[in-house]
Amino acid sequence: MTPVATPFFFYLLSGIALISAIVMITKVNPVHSALALIVTLLACAGLYLMLYAPFMAGVQIVLYAGGILVMFLFVMMLVNIEHLYIEKMLNSQWRVGLAATAMFALLMLGALVKGAGTLPQHIVNSPENSNVQQIGLLLYGRGSGYYMFPFEIASILLLVAVVGAVVMAKRRV
């Protein structure tokens, strides 16, 4: 049985991701943009699967399904869609934008040319059926939990944001 991770699927998924990303920034209607965004994110989940990171792919779907949902609600409640069609779509900062894009492209090119030696030629194939267990061990394992501290710091940061939102909303009630 040949592996699923063939170049065809890579080009297919990245093509879908790129096209829907372009659709997302060019659509006037924000709901269409949100829909295009979720297609991009699903294609990215497929790319994670090809990198033998099924847990990342699953978490990508679970988190962004909820995230996009909330974005939908924001769009429906806060954005005046009729108004958007009258407004000019691109603002006059295209020179700065172009410069920033060119700089970023140069940076990526430089990284690709200069740092080609540091890129792994072959994916380190952690056995697919223990990927989740490996992540668990890295996060919480006794003696191997190197990422315990950063993980907890990130959780506390999120908790602070949640508590802050509740406090700010509560004051007005």
Partner 1 sequence: MIKNILEYLHSNTTPGEAGNLFWVVVYVLLVFAGVSFGVVFMNWFERKVMAHMQVRLGPMRVGPHGLLQPVADALKLIIKEDLMPANADKLVFWFAPVCVVMTAFCSFIVVPFGRTHAITDMNIGVLFMLGVSSLGVLGVIMAGWASNSHYPLMGSLRSGAQMVSYEIAMSMAVVSAVMMTSMATGTGTLSMIGIVQAQMQQHIWFGFSFFPVGLTAMGVFAIAMVAETNRAPFDLPEAESELVAGFMTEYSGFRWSLFFLAEYTSMMAVSSIATTLWLGGWLRPFPNLLGGANWDTAFSLIPGLTFLLLSALSFYSFTLMPKLRSMRGSTLGLGGFAALLGLLGAFMLLPAVRVRVQDIFWFTLKVAFFMYLYIWYRTTFPRYRFDQLMKIGWKVLLPISIGVVILTALIGVRQELFALVWR
Question: Which residues make up the interface to partner 1 (CB under 8 A)?
Answer: 1, 29, 31-32, 35, 38, 54-55, 57-59, 61-62, 65-66, 68-70, 72-73, 76, 128-133, 136
Contact present, 42 and 62 (Cβ < 8 Å): no
Q: How far is the CB of 13 from partner 1 (least distance, A)?
A: 17
DSSP classification of residue 144: T
Query: How many other C-beta atoms are found inside a 10 Å radius of the C-beta of residue 45?
Result: 21
* Residue placing its CB nearer to partner 1 in the complex, 38 or 43: 38
Based on CB atoms, which residue is closest to partner 1, 113 or 162?
A: 162
22 vs 99 by CB, closer to partner 1: 22
From the CB of 48, what's the least distance to partner 1, in Å?
11
Q: Which residue has the tokens 């990927």?
A: 131
Distance CA 85, CA 29 (A): 8
CA distance 80 to 121: 49
Least distance (Å) from partner 1 to the CB of residue 73? 6
Residue type, 37: L
Residue 62 one-letter amino acid: V
Q: Which is nearer to partner 1, 21 or 39 (CB)?
A: 39
Output the six-digit token pair for 46.
């497929």
Of 66 and 150, nearer to partner 1 (C-beta) is 66
Shortest Å, Cβ 8 to partner 1: 16
Q: Whole-number minimum distance, CB 103 to partner 1, in Å?
A: 36
Specify the residue for token string 């691109």: 90
